[in-house]
Structure 1
Amino acid sequence: MTQDVEMKDNATTPSQSLPPPPPSTLHHLKEIASVIENGSKSNEVRRIGRAVRLTIALRKRLTASVLSSFIDYALIPGSDPHPRLSSYLPKEDDQAMETDTATSAAQTQGKQLSPELEIYCYFVVLLFLIDHKKYNEAKDCSSASIVRLKSLNSRTVDVIASRLYFYYSYSYELTGDLAEIRGNLLALHRITTLRHDELGQETLLNLLLRNYLHYNLYDQAEKLRSKAPRFEAHSNQQFCRYLLYLGQIRTIQLEYTDAKESLLQAARKAPVAARGFRIQCNKWAVIVRLLLGEIPERTVFMQGGMEKALRPYFELTNAVRIGDLELFRSVAEKYATTFSTDRTHNLIVRLRHNVIRTGLRNISISYSRILLADVAQKLRLNSANPVADAESIVAKAIRDGAIDATLDHANGWMVSKETGDIYSTNEPQSAFNSRIAFCLNMHNEAVRALRFPPNTLKEKESAEKRRERQQQEQELAKHIEEEDDDDF
């Protein structure tokens, strides 16, 4: 009896210790395809968006063999997109094909292909080509997907279409042919406007602004932005990009106050995972604040993961803060390549006058009376007649209100006036009003960003629909961060 019991226990132990095998990438793609089909049948855009977010989570696991098997599963073998998409994938000698591929392909022959699933196949193949640096094939694939999208007018396709628009422009940008698609992007923006595809309008407007700014066509970008139809933002990523491009346009147009507000708002709204985007926003914001005469706080340059990228701008800020023109020249020459890559070199040239003005302000605070020759020496003006240059600089600073002083032309002095009480002026009130306006604006944007399920007050939901909706909201909250990691 004891031996039989021991034999039974030993027999049951191995089966209980074996864990179930993890689902494969192809299995996940099939589940995403079912989500897309259910979303297209029920006309629910949120399910399509959830499918896109799940795909981004699988992006690093996509291989040619998996995508080939998925195309055989999702597309009808005799359809037009099947051989086209298969031709973009490299042929591998030892493709690890799934065991259920043949049966799945046989099942897809009897059903009709949905447009959402077809566009999704273009999307996953395009992601694979860009990740594996096959940029020429990515251009061909994205162009073919855009031709197919022009013939589709469905709101359930718009979520995937907006991603295809982005990667369509990105593939041409990687090959240096961004100017070739400008006319096509304008045509697509017109089509999406006529179809009331607001998400597509947001994406294409940002792509057109990026296209113009890439070639320094700031006037054309401003004309397009001012003439484009206005609508409420639907995507936080696209809205952040729009604020960045708007801030860059305003900076070039010398509208520094509006530019500062747009750039800082873009940096605040961007997700933490979008580090590269936030670095770009902070670079431009630092330059704009310096042009406005402000000195950014040290904490701006000490943000996590951004210290190395913002190091040149930290040294530049230090030179402007001190008002040392020689130090400013050395920093500009040291990081000239970095500033040219960031497209901020022309803005840094404008900062030379701010450096001189800051140094002059420090001199006026330190000295009640000083010779213009000493002013030229302290500012390190290297010119043929530094005293005359110092006199003109001091006169302009007095006229602009940068310093409170007078010029004694007879003796060649700059005489500073005593500093009054700032609380007797309107400066504290204006600063307080600006902070109140900022808080009210943030509150209004937060209220506008609230989203409510449709028809919650018009009809009662059944228990099953309520449970399904709660499950979708939980899954949406789970994968919302994965959406932020992709596009920046």
Structure 2
Amino acid sequence: MGLDVEMKTAEPAAAPSPLIHLKATIALIEKGVAKKEMRLMARAIRQMLAVRRRLKASTVSSFLNYALPSGSEALSRLLGFVAKVELGDASMEVDTPPSMAQSSQLSYKQSVLPELESFSYLLVIIFLIDQKHLEDAKVCSSAAIKRLQQFNRRTLDVLAARLYFYYSLSYERTNSLADIRGTLLALHRTATLRHDELGQETLLNLLLRNYLHYNLYDQAEKLRSKTLRSDSHSNQQLCRYLYYLGKIRTIQLEYTDAKECLLQAARKAPSSARGFRIQCTKWAAIVRLLLGEIPERTTFMQQGMRKALLPYFELTNAVRIGDLELFRAVADKNASVFYADKTHNLIVRLRHNVIRTGLRNISISYSRISLRDVASKLHLDSATAVADAESIVTKAIRDGGIDASVDHSKGWMQSKETGDIYSTQEPQQAFHSRIAFCLNTHNEAVKALRFPPDAHKKELESAEKRRERQQQELELAKHIAEEDDDEF
């Protein structure tokens, strides 16, 4: 019996083929168009993305012949793109695409919905990107956008947002992102006029990414400040917007706002978006270091992110110690990583923080120390090291970084006794920031609640029920009055 049970449990159920999954999306799209329900469109896209890794050229061709009418321009164009991939495959397995003679018999409909045609374009674009046919994906996405501009249907908004994203991605992968900036601006203007809020969010993020890709931070900020943005309809688009806004604020030296945006973007991002969370964590760590804070060790020890965050962990350790020589070594060692992440310019700004941290440690350790020893401990290797140390100490005292005084005639730094931190306002400020964070989280959770449409109307009684209730109350009152008369 035990062996039979093991044999039964060891045989998993055969997974449905990708073609069956794709055909099931047609019913979802038609139902979404009939009921004008955007959730069904999003569900069809998710169902397609669930099988994207198992797609083959033969599967995509079979679906196109089934979904699109024979002889249509969209079918011939999309089959041409898939055929290029199919010719490059060495082995062809199941799901052989039907011939053009048979396509008229297998075609799902002779007239196709614009939503189904856009879905077919989206499927082929994603397939071409996954198969590394980037030039074909760029041409196909351009054709899809031109076709999409011919329609003005609200049921296309979800599919259009996806097409915009992969349109920009295909151009980014081919290093020609600047070529579509004018098109994206025109699409954003059209989406604004049509009140397509999801399209506005998507296109705004794509434009910000386009500008930031070429380090055009001023143009990105001007676009962001001039654009009216409503409440977010997509958590993914909100996370991207917060990430781009955090990068802009960082370059503009507004570190407090940048830190809040980056941490919120990393917190809201789904756990599956590991690459996005890694980028948010990298920038957030740099911003916190620039603010004089030291990120917790657990930030760099998250599962699946340790290797990617190792250079920033070493950098944080150098800043925490205040060792300028170690900081230089870490910056030179991981220069290629910092250049790839576009954080090298920010790391150059950290040099002053390293010196200030080292100076704070010196002021705590020594009640009095000569400026020459300060220059030696800070590794200020220059002919004017003592003069540089004197100016650094003076500036740190003026900024409130250390509590000390400088005796210029004798050439030493005199530290003052450290007071009780609980006699200051710092604990109250830390407590206030935690309360504000909890309240903000509660307000966002309340805003995220979803209720069924017209749910409040169910509790309201209809006019007929109200008349019946009033009639019953009148009869009850009359009956009570009659009983009172009988008693007398």
TM-score normalised by L of structure 2: 0.87
Q: Alignment RMSD, CA only?
A: 1.9
- Separation in structure 1 between the aligned mates of residue 170 and residue 405 of structure 2, nearest angstrom: 59
Cα distance, 1:112 vs. partner? Answer: 2.5
Cα distance, 1:110 vs. partner? Answer: 5.7
Corresponding residue for residue 87 of structure 1: 80
Please say if residues 290 and 350 of structure 2, whose CA atoms lie closer than 8 Å, have aligned partners that are also in contact. yes
Please say if residues 213 and 221 of structure 1, whose CA atoms lie closer than 8 Å, have aligned partners that are also in contact. yes
Q: Give 1:42-53 correspondences, 5 Å limit.
A: 42-53=35-46
Give 5+ residue unaligned stretches, structure 2. 1-10, 460-488
Cα distance, 1:260 vs. partner? Answer: 0.5
Partner deviation per Cα, 1:168-225 (whole Å, 9 max, x = no partner): 0000000000000011111111111111111111111111110000000001111111
- Separation in structure 1 between the aligned mates of residue 224 and residue 54 of structure 2, nearest angstrom: 38
- Separation in structure 1 between the aligned mates of residue 251 and residue 13 of structure 2, nearest angstrom: 60
Cα distance, 1:160 vs. partner? Answer: 1.1
Cα distance, 1:35 vs. partner? Answer: 1.1
Q: Compared with structure 1, are the counterparts of its residues 377 and 19 closer, same or farther at alpha carbon in structure 2 (3 Å cutoff)?
A: closer
> What is the total number of aligned residue pairs between the two structures?
443
Corresponding residue for residue 163 of structure 1: 162
- Separation in structure 2 between the aligned mates of residue 100 and residue 413 of structure 1, nearest angstrom: 88
Partner deviation per Cα, 1:396-439 (whole Å, 9 max, x = no partner): 00010000111111111111111111111111111111111111
Partner deviation per Cα, 1:9-28 (whole Å, 9 max, x = no partner): xxxxxxxxx99975322222
Partner deviation per Cα, 1:317-372 (whole Å, 9 max, x = no partner): 11101110000000000000010001000000000000000000000001111110
Flag the structure with larger Rg: 2
Q: Secondary structure at the match of 1:153?
A: coil
- Separation in structure 1 between the aligned mates of residue 316 and residue 106 of structure 2, nearest angstrom: 65
Q: Compared with structure 1, are the counterparts of its residues 35 and 24 closer, same or farther at alpha carbon in structure 2 (3 Å cutoff)?
A: same
Letter in 2 for 1:26: L
Corresponding residue for residue 5 of structure 1: none
Q: Give 1:151-230 correspondences, 5 Å limit.
A: 151-230=150-229
Corresponding residue for residue 24 of structure 2: 31
Q: Is structure 2 residue 33 aligned with structure 1 residue 40? A: yes
Corresponding residue for residue 419 of structure 1: 418
Please say if residues 128 and 136 of structure 2, whose CA atoms lie closer than 8 Å, have aligned partners that are also in contact. yes
Q: Secondary structure at the match of 1:39?
A: helix
Corresponding residue for residue 265 of structure 1: 264
Letter in 2 for 1:148: R
- Separation in structure 2 between the aligned mates of residue 22 and residue 56 of structure 1, nearest angstrom: 16
- Separation in structure 1 between the aligned mates of residue 451 and residue 105 of structure 2, nearest angstrom: 42
Q: Compared with structure 1, are the counterparts of its residues 258 and 108 closer, same or farther at alpha carbon in structure 2 (3 Å cutoff)?
A: same
- Separation in structure 1 between the aligned mates of residue 318 and residue 269 of structure 2, nearest angstrom: 29
TM-score normalised by L of structure 1: 0.87
Q: Secondary structure at the match of 1:273?
A: coil
Q: Give 1:106-121 correspondences, 5 Å limit.
A: 106=105, 108=107, 111-121=110-120
Corresponding residue for residue 480 of structure 1: none
Please say if residues 243 and 280 of structure 2, whose CA atoms lie closer than 8 Å, have aligned partners that are also in contact. yes
Letter in 2 for 1:56: L
Give 5+ residue unaligned stretches, structure 1. 1-17, 461-488
- Separation in structure 2 between the aligned mates of residue 258 and residue 110 of structure 1, nearest angstrom: 53
Please say if residues 77 and 109 of structure 1, whose CA atoms lie closer than 8 Å, have aligned partners that are also in contact. no
Q: Secondary structure at the match of 1:90?
A: helix
- Separation in structure 1 between the aligned mates of residue 443 and residue 15 of structure 2, nearest angstrom: 46
Corresponding residue for residue 407 of structure 2: 408
- Separation in structure 2 between the aligned mates of residue 257 and residue 27 of structure 1, nearest angstrom: 51
Cα distance, 1:99 vs. partner? Answer: 9.4
Instruction: Tell which deviates more after alignment, 89-98 or 59-68.
Output: 89-98
Cα distance, 1:453 vs. partner? Answer: 2.4
Partner deviation per Cα, 1:421-468 (whole Å, 9 max, x = no partner): 1111111111111111111111111111112222233369xxxxxxxx
Letter in 2 for 1:50: R
- Separation in structure 1 between the aligned mates of residue 199 and residue 104 of structure 2, nearest angstrom: 33
Cα distance, 1:90 vs. partner? Answer: 2.2
Please say if residues 233 and 239 of structure 1, whose CA atoms lie closer than 8 Å, have aligned partners that are also in contact. yes
Corresponding residue for residue 6 of structure 1: none
Cα distance, 1:44 vs. partner? Answer: 1.2
Q: Secondary structure at the match of 1:308?
A: helix
- Separation in structure 2 between the aligned mates of residue 263 and residue 112 of structure 1, nearest angstrom: 47
Partner deviation per Cα, 1:156-176 (whole Å, 9 max, x = no partner): 111111111111000000000
Q: Secondary structure at the match of 2:229?
A: coil
Please say if residues 59 and 128 of structure 1, whose CA atoms lie closer than 8 Å, have aligned partners that are also in contact. yes
Cα distance, 1:96 vs. partner? Answer: 3.8
Letter in 2 for 1:363: I
Q: Which has the higher contact order (CA 8 A, sep 6+)?
A: 1
- Separation in structure 1 between the aligned mates of residue 240 and residue 15 of structure 2, nearest angstrom: 38
- Separation in structure 2 between the aligned mates of residue 442 and residue 339 of structure 1, nearest angstrom: 32
Cα distance, 1:37 vs. partner? Answer: 1.1
Corresponding residue for residue 362 of structure 2: 363
